[in-house]
Structure 1
Amino acid sequence: MSNEKSPHVVEGQLSDNERLKRESRHLRGTIEQDLKDDLTGGFNGDNFQLIRFHGMYQQDDRDLRAERAKQKLEPLQNVMLRARLPGGVITPEQWLVIDKFAEEHSIYGSIRLTTRQTFQFHGVLKPDIKMMHQTLNKTGIDSIATAGDVNRNVLCTSNPVESEVHQQAWEWAAKISEHLLPKTRAYAEIWLDGEKVESTEQEVEPILGDNYLPRKFKTTVVIPPQNDVDVHANDLNFVAIAENGQLIGFNVLVGGGLAMTHGDTTTYPRKADDFGFIPLEHTLAVAEAVVSTQRDWGNRVNRKNAKTKYTLERVGVDTFKAEVEKRAGVSFAESRPYEFTGRGDRFGWVEGIDGKHHLTVFIENGRILDFPNKPLKTGCAEIAKVHQGDFRLTANQNLIIAGVPADQKDKIEALAVQYGLIQADTSLQRKDSMACVSLPTCPLAMAEAERYLPDAVTELESLLAKHNVANDSIIFRVTGCPNGCGRAMLAEVGLVGKGPGKYNLHLGGNREGTRIPRMYRENISEQEIMASLDELIGRWAQERNANEAFGDFVIRKDIVKPVVDSARDFYE
């Protein structure tokens, strides 16, 4: 680190992850040797963590643990891979490749669209891991830096309607992703049989540093008025400012994040701060300066307080901003005005200003699989075989079939209907609901999320109908633990897993995604959650102002107090 003597560096014994990264030989570890160890389906020692920097998490099917233990077998170890896909754009040819791999080499057979605007393979066994990377590489996809203490997959608003601005914003998302990637050749060496660097001491990580970042780092590019990437869930955000249909620069927002730890009040969700406006030519310099400041000042002693949001709270927003200006050699101008009016995806057909048509289809939980009477996976593949444009994955786990010529619309729509990708009876509430993966594969999960969501939404739909507000909806999100992958801490109603069948119930976010909800009830059952919502939805239906959203209603009626400054009032 270049600023070890800075007063902003946290002193103390470094976390063991710092040792791990320092000794990893720029993320190589002994992964290559571990791949040859057929005595276990997993990775040993430090490699368990190091494979994350290569885009993978070691997992096992927790539903099978007890039975396998009875048989004196180790857990069914496998990996989940998350691809790097800046802005979520993928070609039909690439889609067919990932579809085939999921079918043949995933024990679950599915493709999972994620809240990070990319896809995941779940359940890939050790003998197939190297082939997985090589298969993706041949089609132009990798998984470099989609996990670990690095800048992860860069999100971009899925808005193909204003074609020129969207194209320009997406190009910047791709540039930012490339600029902030690790420079180590470890990924190519291990997975792609690339030529080995003679001495890893010759390698330099000019932006991330030899010890990489103190903690994970997330970046977005967002095009108002849609906040579909949830800017306040991310460390660094570039808010697109356009004039006359052309992108001219960005407002820069820094220090958002949703993760927390149950029982630890030094952890909390936090909104990002607006640093100001920059013209386009300074984008990469500012991105690098924010990352390098966090690299040098972030907490490497306590990982629970290592994210950018805690660095800003500790050193002060003005101090952090001034350091970014110094490192980038720029001064932030006053922020340009913008407004978020929503963050959901626009379902159905829309026409872009270029005359191309775009069809957004709802994928519950982002899980693309052939379900009974709803063969989504086959349908996506059949569309990919004839589609002349591209696909765009959204940060809300949905799929856009983009760039469809007018004379292909009927064919694409007929296929989408045939395979259940378009279902007329899907409610607005279901489209406004989201969950993380959670059980059975996530090792951090405390409660169900993806598997609970469909039934929970059905109950919520019944409550809305009971109180005669079935045409309305509530931003509803479920996460299996407090790490924030399902972004429940930006929902009007957010459930955070506490234990089997138990959740903390949070209320009071808003539809625009600019307010953090407050805990209303702690550690309650699914039945207690629905009983609380029954009462509250009843009051909302009777007492709300015209067009007043649920989250705004519970704040106005003092059912919960708004979270104004989460570092100080989130736990009040």
Structure 2
Amino acid sequence: MTKELKKSKVELIKEASVGLRGSIAEELDDRTTDHVVDATTKLLKFHGTYQQDDRDLRKPRRKEGLGKAYSFMVRNRIPGGKMTAAQFLGELDIADELGNGTIRITTRQSIQLHGVVKNNLWGVIHRINEIKLSTQSACGDVTRNVCCCPAPLRQNGLRDKLQQLADEIAVHVRPKTKAYHEIWIKDPESGKRQQVVGAPTESEPDPIYGNAYLPRKFKIGLALCDDNCIDVYDNDVGLLGVTEGDELIGFNILAGGGMGTTPSKKQCFPALAKRLTFVKTEHLLPIITAIILVQRDFGNRADRSQARLKYLIHNLGLPEFKSKVEEYLPAAESICGVPAGTVPCPLPEPHAADVTGHEDHLGWHDQGDGKWFLGLPIENGRVKDEGALRLKTALRTLFSHHVATARLTAHQNILLCDIEGSQKEEIEKVLADHGVVTVNQISNARRFAFACPALPTCGLAVTESERALPGLIDELETELKDQGLESEEFSIRMTGCPNGCARPYNADLGLVGRSVDGKTGEGRYTVFLGGNQIGTRMNQVFQDQVPRGEIVSVLRPVLKHFKEGRQGKETFGDFCNRIGMQALAALGNPV
């Protein structure tokens, strides 16, 4: 008889929450405290917010006998990154009035607001809903923001179809609990938070998530083979569109991607998704649902570090996992409201098609409908005014007078969309007047680099990331120019901890925060090499515990050898992967 594993603390909190309600409403009404209790922090994630504190202030506040400077990060759910000008302006207003004055574009095509104090939390989430956006399921053990290629390239209709599917999937996987509406949506009569008389004592039935939701977060993304701009292999479920000419014939289903890891636990690892099967477009919802149901019922609920879908697939093996998905398909079809047997069972092998290309969609592009879009680089996704760079003011001006819609990218950039050709010159002038650079004004090193927020707000961060990467890129730009490599394109991603929010483990160059020098306070990083820009190969550890100030000097001999020993047009990541980490390490330590 198999011994049932003891459930984690978070599982017990979810089960007792009555559909994710818990004591959230009561604690929001308590204006005497600046934070919520631990159990409530776990439930608030499902509503799109994390409790944090300013770690820069911990020591000085401790000396003054004060506690932590608590605040909340609030994350939007924006399927495919689609926004109107009014919505973007609304986010800026909320950040100015109730946050820290900045917004941050995320690696999953969303927006985060930081520095929201507890007494402003309801107002922030409520106002986000007023501008027809939402924070529901932006965090927590459910399906997160559904990503897909944001480019409004309408020549063949393929990307419009992806966006339509992203919306349909997002609606389908949204939790059925009414708790979100009860807690955060305004009562138009009273003008206050809606008070629910006789709150339910049991959770609403949810055919997908059940009473305890998923064991861990779950991510879905859609891409095309020739343009993997969202890192489709990094998702729990990746949907890779297969085309014949301009026709979308179906999707290769990829399962089990995930970047998070815990280096101290050998059983933890980052992973790219595995190729599971091919299905026609009309079968997407049933196959997605079946995979979620298998993860719900068989995922690890005792150890959260082993709870992602990638570990279930690793432990079962892909063939057995596929068999379980086939077993769950009839139930999934029932949930989706389609006739049983619509999806072929057993599932076929994947189509031969795979990722072949990658675009970041920066610069000016003809949309194919008589209008244009401009892909604008946003360093590390942070929208703010600082010194000569008045990005926030520039975007306010553009969205107030010149630009009607926008798309957010998985590289933390923004696409200004549906622009008349006659507006291009004026838009470029607004950007120049506010010190905002366009893609042709930055280096390739900076263009293909991004970082997670890390310190001071992320509670998991070990080292700096967002605040460290710009300076590192400055140094790397000089080194690349000195070696005649400034035109090379390769991805650079930095995180402040091993959880991998900036997807460092399949980049050409990944930098992951590991520790801090106790004397100097300098961060130390694991340097990973050998991934690729199209996101189909994991990189490997090149050197561990490298001080921030020595990263470029550690890379110098590798870059030199790359220039001298590359084969043809071999990329930096391909070169590192071919040579191998042992041989590359020897370059810096000649015998």
- Is TM-score (shorter-chain normalized) higher than 0.5? yes
SS of equivalent residue, structure 2 residue 446: helix
- Give the count of matched residue pairs: 554
Is the 2:539–2:577 contact (alpha carbons within 8 Å) kept by the matching residues of 1?
no
**Which residue number corresponds to residue 281 of structure 2?**
280
Is contact 1:511–1:549 with CA below 8 Å preserved after alignment?
A: no
User: What is aligned with 1:168?
Assistant: 161
Match in the other structure for 1:49 = 42
Query: CA 1:428 to 1:319, structure 2 compared with 1: closer, same or farther past 3 Å?
Result: same
Whole-angstrom CA distance in 2 between matches of 1:219 and 1:554: 30
Q: Give yes or no for contact 1:226–1:344 (8 Å, CA) kept in 2.
A: yes
1:250 partner amino acid: F
User: Which position in structure 2 is the counterpart of 1:534?
Assistant: 556
Matched, 1:456 2:448: no
CA distance in 1 between counterparts of 2:22 and 2:582 reads 49
TM-score, normalised via structure 2 length: 0.90
Tell whether 2:68 aligns with 1:75: yes
Partner of 2:277: helix, strand, or coil? strand
1:109-131 Cα shifts (integer Å, max 9, x gaps) = 10100001100000011111111
Whichever residue aligns with residue 347 of structure 1, its letter is L
> Is 1:547–2:573 an aligned residue pair?
no
Aligned residue for 2:581, secondary structure, equals coil
Q: Report matched runs for 1:248-263 at 5 Å.
A: 248-263=249-264
Task: Write the letter of the residue equivalent to 1:211.
Answer: A
1:433 partner amino acid:
A
The equivalent of 1:59 in structure 2 is: 52
Q: Decide whether aligned partners of structure 1 residues 561 and 200 sit closer, same or farther in structure 2, where only a CA change above 3 A counts.
A: farther
Contact residue 148 and residue 223 of structure 2 kept, 8 A: yes
Deviations 1:234-263 (A, max 9, x none): 100111223443433211111011110021
One-letter amino acid of the counterpart of residue 530, structure 1: V
Which residue in 2 is equivalent to 1:271?
272
Tell me the C-alpha RMSD between the 2 structures.
1.8
SS at match of 2:441: coil
Distance 1:398 1:74 in 2: 36
Quote the residue 1:110 is aligned against: 102
1:495-518: per-residue Cα shift (whole Å, max 9, x none)? 110112101111111121111111
Q: 1:50: how far off?
A: 1.0
Shifted more, 239-248 versus 351-360: the winner is 239-248
Pick aligned residue for 1:482 from 493, 498, 501: 498
In 1, the alpha carbon distance for the partners of 2:497 and 2:110 equals 21
Moved more, 416-425 or 113-122: 416-425
User: Do the aligned residues in 2 keep the contact of 1:222 with 1:231 (CA within 8 Å)?
Assistant: yes
Runs of 4+ in 1 over 4 A off after TM superposition: none
The one-letter code matched in structure 2 to 1:475 is: S
* 1:352 lines up with 2:360 in the alignment: no
Deviation at 1:409, TM superposition (A): 2.2
Which residue is 2:128 aligned to? 136
1:456-499 CA-partner distances (Å, limit 9, x unpaired):
11111111112111111331111000111011111111111011
**Partner of residue 503 from structure 1, selected from 510, 517, 525:** 525
Aligned AA (2:268)? T
Shift of 1:38: 2.8
User: Distance in 2 between the 1:321 and 1:430 partners?
Assistant: 41
Asked if 1:525 is matched to 2:528, the reply is no
The residue that corresponds to 2:294 in the other structure is: 293
User: Who is 2:397 aligned against?
Assistant: 382
Preserved CA contact (<8 Å) 1:362 1:421: no
Whole-angstrom distance in 2 between the partners of 1:490 and 1:154? 20
Instruction: Name the amino acid aligned to 1:208.
Output: Y
Q: 1:395 is matched with which residue: 393, 410, 427?
A: 410
Are residue 22 (structure 1) and residue 23 (structure 2) matched?
A: no
**Pairing of 1:150-169 with structure 2 (within 5 A):** 150-162=142-154, 164-169=157-162
Q: Is the 8 A contact 1:253 1:272 kept in 2?
A: yes
Deviation at residue 202 of structure 1 after TM alignment: 5.8
1:180 is the counterpart of 2:173: yes
Contact 2:541–2:581 (Cα < 8 Å) also in 1: no
Match 1:422 to one of 421, 430, 437: 437
Shift of 1:546: 1.5
Q: Which moved more, 1:139-148 or 1:186-195?
A: 186-195
Q: Say whether residues 1:410 and 2:432 are aligned partners.
A: no
Structure 1, unaligned stretches of length 5 or more?
563-572
Contact 2:540 2:581 in 1 (8 A): no
What's the CA shift string for 1:70-106, capped at 9, x where partnerless? 2222211110001000000000011111111111111
Alignment map for 1:154-233 (pairs within 5 Å): 154-162=146-154, 164-192=157-185, 193-194=193-194, 196=196, 198-201=199-202, 203-233=204-234
Q: Is the 8 A contact 1:81 1:121 kept in 2?
A: yes
- Does 2:382 match 1:370? no
**Normalising to structure 1: TM-score of the pair?**
0.93
Aligned partners of 1:446 and 1:481 also within 8 Å: yes
Any conservation in 1 of the 2:11–2:212 contact (CA below 8 Å)? yes
Aligned counterparts of 1:105 and 1:98: Cα–Cα separation in 2: 10
Do structure 1's residue 327 and structure 2's residue 328 form an aligned pair?
yes
Distance 1:356 1:523 in 2: 49
Q: Work out the CA distance in 2 between the residues paired with 1:142 and 1:560.
A: 48
| Cα distance change on mapping 1:537 and 1:133 into 2, 3 Å | same
- Indicate which of 13, 38, 42 corresponds to 2:31: 38
Aligned counterpart, 2:118: 126
